[in-house]
Amino acid sequence: MAARSLDAYLNSAGDLARLSAHAGRLVKLQRVFEQIAPSYLAASSHVANFKLGKVVIHADSGAVAAKLRQMLPSLVDEFSLKGAEVTEIQVKVQPGHAASQHKKAGVAASVGASAKSDLSRLAGELPADSPLKEALERLVKRSR
């Protein structure tokens, strides 16, 4: 038996087919939202749900939510112009989303050779129990 694609499997079962179709609608609405919303707002919010013409958008902060709420009439119009049957938009603040979805890999601090020697010398002049001394030593050690 040949291996079936994930899409074929998802579309074969009734409940999975409905779930797959809904997820597909959400992805399309998200793409439209990214086109019509200012980039700084689209980066801090996302389409969370769609039901009976109502789009729910989750914003990462109250400030983003407030700005989106100011733009609701134009966003509804823009969704319609892009072919989405949107009659209402609800904006909710979901601050945990930013932390969990947009985690960035930690970037190691990098300093030049002369700065490393200066930092090492400064760390050497600080008391042994100084938190600053420990931080400087870690910086020098981690630096490339």
Would you list the domain boundaries of the chain?
A: 6-101, 113-142
pLDDT along the chain (144 residues), means of 10: 60 72 92 94 94 95 95 94 93 74 54 82 86 84 76
Spatial contact of 144 and 110, defined as CB atoms under 8 Å apart = yes
Contact (CB, 8 A) for 47 and 56: yes
- Say what the pLDDT of residue 4 is: 62
Q: In 3D, which of 87, 86, 33, 32 has the Cα closest to residue 64?
A: 33
Angle between helices 14-36 and 72-81 in degrees, nearest 10: 120
Selecting from 3.30.300.180, 3.30.450.20, 3.30.460.30, 3.40.190.10, what CATH number does the domain 6-101 have?
3.30.300.180
Q: What is the pLDDT of residue 75?
A: 95
CA separation for the pair 140, 138 (Å, rounded)? 5
pLDDT of residue 104: 52
Write down the pLDDT at residue 61.
94
Q: What is the pLDDT of residue 129?
A: 87
pTM of the full predicted structure?
0.59
pLDDT (0 to 100) of residue 126 = 85
CA 5 – CA 10 distance, rounded (Å):
9
Inter-residue contact 65 to 48 (CB < 8 Å): no
